[in-house]
Structure 1
Amino acid sequence: MNRPQEIDSRAGLFSGLAAYSMWGLFPIYFVATRAVPAPELLAHRILWSLPFGLLILIFRKQIGDTWKAIRKPRTLALLALASISLAANWGVYIYAIQIEQIFQGSLGYYINPLIYVLVAVLFFGERLSKLQGFAILLACMGVLALTIYGGQFPVISLFLACSFTIYGVLRKLIDVGAMPGLFIEVLVLILPAALYIAWLNQSGSLVFGTDTTLNWLMVASGPITVLPLLAFAFAARRIRLSTLGVLQFVGPTMQFLCGIYFGETFTAAHAICFTLIWLGVAVFAFDGWRSSRPSYALRTGPAQTRQNE
């Protein structure tokens, strides 16, 4: 690899780490804004993402790409569906942090890549490698352990994993960049968000405007939402998909550590569940790394390599 490529790859790696680290620190932000009800905070997150996203589009000269996507009915319809999945995911995650269920949020994003693989097999005809199958089995055992031994079915975790998988599948069907796509999704959601905030204001239950610190924190939800995605988009173009796949576990690991920091109760059932999930994640990451190696591709052939991706 020549020097410019090394620099580009290193920049991509740091950007990927930055993106997942910002996502991993989200619990700190949502704990700081617990005084704001989850639906209002979600509405502000949508509202303040729009102007900040527009600035990014102007800076990156992607207004034209955004307009082209809006003019395509199929693209617009799929992005509208994606926006519903994204808003549901955001809202439930905020709610999870506010009711002190950070571990469930973390668990959801650990499970998410495994759900992706399962959906690819069930609905897109992709074949499951033995290691991928074993990883999914370990994840299922973890969920069962928490449900049976701990008496807590991880509904929040599974909802977060499934809703973000639906979002990812819909975005995969659309040929549009990360930032233009997000801007259109926010644009679709802006009217109901604005109407909800107006209704809260009319009923006298709007938190925004009652505390200066909370006001600024709610405004900050715009850049907090957009910046990680921007860093992720930068990284995705500069590092290998297998590297990006391993980096995605940085986020839920940091969320898990946030749960420890904030003193959430970590039971024996949690320990069993997370141990099984971590083993599944390790197997999944190893399989992704192994299948991306050139020597493995030469031994197995192109068809088998694609099967394991």
Structure 2
Amino acid sequence: MTLPEQAPELAAPVVAAPAVDPNETRKGVLSALSAYLLWGFLPILFHLLEQAGSVLIVAERTLWSLVLLAIVLAFAGGFGEVRAVLADFRRMRVIALSALLLVANWLLYVWAVETGQVLEASFGYFINPMVNVAIGMLFLGERQNRLQTIAIAIATIAILIQAAGLGRVPVVALGLAFSFGFYGFIRKTAQTGPATGLFAETIVVAPFAMAYVVFDMATRGIGVHADPAQLFLLMLTGPATAVPLLLFAYGVRRLRLTTIGMFQYLAPSIQFLVAILLFGEALNPLRLVSFALIWVSLAVFSWDSFHQRRRRVAV
């Protein structure tokens, strides 16, 4: 994603407004579920494009996302906010840094699919909530209660077991979790909406993406662009990036954040199943134990978040 790719794209600050009626809540649930389902099956698209190479896929994804977001913003009248962001040097510095992290996340994720490491990628997005907590502790001075500390400890053990099962440090998982975690942390300071922020980020990256596409075609020829099916799939990377983001933004404004928190594990769970059932990746006993522990960790963390929210509402 951009969970990106689980919503690597999803890190802009949002405030969930209370649902005004059941119809709005139903729309919110359908939108959020659709977003996470699309992110969950995203590895299939990248797998079909593996002959293009991860760098070209990310370059094309950037350009086609820019085209689609421009159309959306034109219809929504959002270019006024875009101009305000582009004219704000402080915000653009933040956007440039978040764009760098976003592209790094995309490249690592597509490369993981290309090299048959979707299981490890899904593990990365499972541990992402714990990484977010760790970033909050280190950089925002946030303090955790006992259950949250237990959840973090279980997740740490799961990472160590995953490393033992792989026979190496789980670089892909940690890279995805930390790049997405810091992306969200940095985007919070940019104060831009999801579509506007992603559009500004793609503007920053687009010249480099276009330069790479031109370089690739000059050195390797038209390549995958000569195949109508492959060209269509490359164009599809734009909607595959922007549509889940927009669905998520629509849904999150109509649902409680605790509800969204429950949905966020859907995408890596689907990726987990895709890796095993469709891509035939091996899951040895140690790695299975590590996934089991991370699910326990997430269950503890989610239950605590739900309990804390109920207590705040009661007060």
TM-score norm. by structure 2 comes to 0.91
- Pick the aligned partner of 1:169 from 179, 185, 188: 185
Measured in 1, the distance between the counterparts of 2:267 and 2:223 equals 29
Task: Give the conservation status (yes or no) of the 8 Å contact 2:165–2:284.
Answer: no
- Pick the aligned partner of 2:163 from 147, 167, 173: 147
1:283 aligns with 300
1:215 aligns with 2:231: yes
Give me the CA root mean square deviation.
1.5
- Pick the aligned partner of 1:92 from 91, 96, 108: 108
SS in 1 for 2:109: helix
Measured in 1, the distance between the counterparts of 2:126 and 2:222 equals 34
How far residue 131 of structure 1 moved from its aligned partner, in angstroms, is 1.3
1:29 aligns with 2:45: yes
Measured in 2, the distance between the counterparts of 1:36 and 1:221 equals 13
- Pick the aligned partner of 1:225 from 215, 236, 241: 241
1:262-277 aligned at under 5 Å gives the runs 262-277=279-294
How far residue 176 of structure 1 moved from its aligned partner, in angstroms, is 0.9
1:258 aligns with 2:274: yes
Q: Which runs of 5+ in 2 are unaligned?
A: 1-17
Q: Which runs of 5+ in 1 are unaligned?
A: 302-309
Change (3 A) 1:120 1:35: same
Change (3 A) 1:149 1:218: closer
Q: Quote the sequence identity (%).
A: 34
Measured in 1, the distance between the counterparts of 2:288 and 2:19 equals 45
Change (3 A) 1:184 1:14: same
How far residue 123 of structure 1 moved from its aligned partner, in angstroms, is 0.9
Give the count of matched residue pairs: 297
| Structure 2 counterpart of 1:79, one-letter code | I
Measured in 2, the distance between the counterparts of 1:285 and 1:3 equals 21
| Structure 1 counterpart of 2:312, one-letter code | A
Task: Give the conservation status (yes or no) of the 8 Å contact 2:19–2:254.
Answer: no
Measured in 1, the distance between the counterparts of 2:226 and 2:287 equals 38
SS in 2 for 1:185: helix
TM-score norm. by structure 1 comes to 0.93
Change (3 A) 1:145 1:77: same
